[in-house]
Amino acid sequence: MTWPEVIIYIFFPVAGYLLGAVPFAWVIGKAHGVDIRTTGSKNIGATNLGRTLGAKYFWQAFSLDALKGFLPVLICSLFSRKLSLPSWAPLLTAAACFLGHVFPIYLKFKGGKGVATSFGVVLGFWPLYTIAGLLGGAFFVFMLLVYRYISLASITAAAVFAALVVMLSFRSPPYVNTAVSPGDRVALIAVAGFFALVIIFRHRANIARLMKGTEPKIGQREIEKAKLKPQNPPPPPDGR
């Protein structure tokens, strides 16, 4: 194995895992005096952080989680093309970033559900994963606007992404060549399916609540908390 291959096949995946394992939502929560492992769903993802501290913190964590998947995969992809390595080579780094978030070494391998990090990962892997990821992201937004369940939107978007990878690997959309060779197609489809299956599995508790009708919608917990807050007491009598 040459040194460039060592960098692509070993260094980048290890670095990708260590970066992917950084629990940004947990870090942001701790910076504001909250350990999100003890609140809400007790998950270290952006959704639980947002429900605990507010929507702006959700976007902060989501963006950072996506970025820690996007940058390593993008850099690895650029190096792989320059070295004329197989198109599937960056998939090792992609999978490592994703697994780092789901099983972070810094938190005893108890991590998030991988939605934001996988979104960043696929955007960094042009063109097949990027196109499928953007379309899957659009489907996520559609499901979220219609049903207002983040979990349902995440699960269905993950499945749609995997299906789109299969479709686009055989036939390209206009202006972008996403079709790949049969040898590369197997690896690309397998990793996309792996992402989708892990995300769905990590949402198994949410699926159970969806089936029972107890899964909270966007803003539902905040509304319920507001209802539980005591109203301002009436002013005391003036003694007259």
Domain-located, residue 240: no
Decide if pLDDT at 229 tops 60. Answer: no
Count the helix, strand and coil residues of the chain and give each as a percent rounded to the nearest 5: 70, 0, 30
152 in a structural domain: yes
Per-residue pLDDT, 4: 87
Cα separation, 120 vs 99, whole angstroms: 13
pLDDT at 25 over 90: yes
Summarised one tens digit per residue, pLDDT across range 67-76 is 999 999 999 9
Residue 227 in any domain: the answer is no
Which pLDDT value is given to residue 237? 54
* pLDDT over 90 at 10, yes or no: yes
For residue 126, what are the CA distances in angstroms to 13, 167, 226?
Answer: 18, 16, 45
Complete DSSP assignment for 129-168: HHHHHHHHHHHHHHHHHHH--HHHHHHHHHHHHHHHHHHH
63 assigned to some structural domain: yes
Of the listed ranges 42-46, 49-53, 185-189, 223-227, the one predicted with least confidence: 223-227
**Structural domain count, the chain:** 1
Q: According to the model, what pLDDT value does residue 53 have?
A: 94
Give the model confidence (pLDDT) of 165-178 as tens digits: 999 999 999 999 99
Confidence band of 183 (pLDDT split at 50, 70, 90) = confident
Residue 107 has what DSSP assignment?
A: G
- 212 vs 183: which has the higher pLDDT: 212
Expressed as residue numbers, the domain containing 16 is 3-220
Chain segment 85-99, per-residue pLDDT in tens: 988 999 999 999 999
Taking only the tens place, the pLDDT of each residue in 107-127 is 999 999 999 999 999 999 999
User: Distance between CA atoms of 165 and 10, rounded to whole angstroms?
Assistant: 25
**Mean pLDDT, range 155-160, rounded to an integer:** 98
Q: Is residue 72 part of a domain?
A: yes
Query: Is 235 within a domain?
Result: no
Kindly state whether residue 216 falls inside one of the protein's structural domains: yes
Owner of token pair 């980048």: 12
Window from 26-30, 78-82, 164-168 with minimum mean pLDDT: 78-82
pLDDT at 231 over 70: no
Classify residue 239: in a domain, yes or no: no
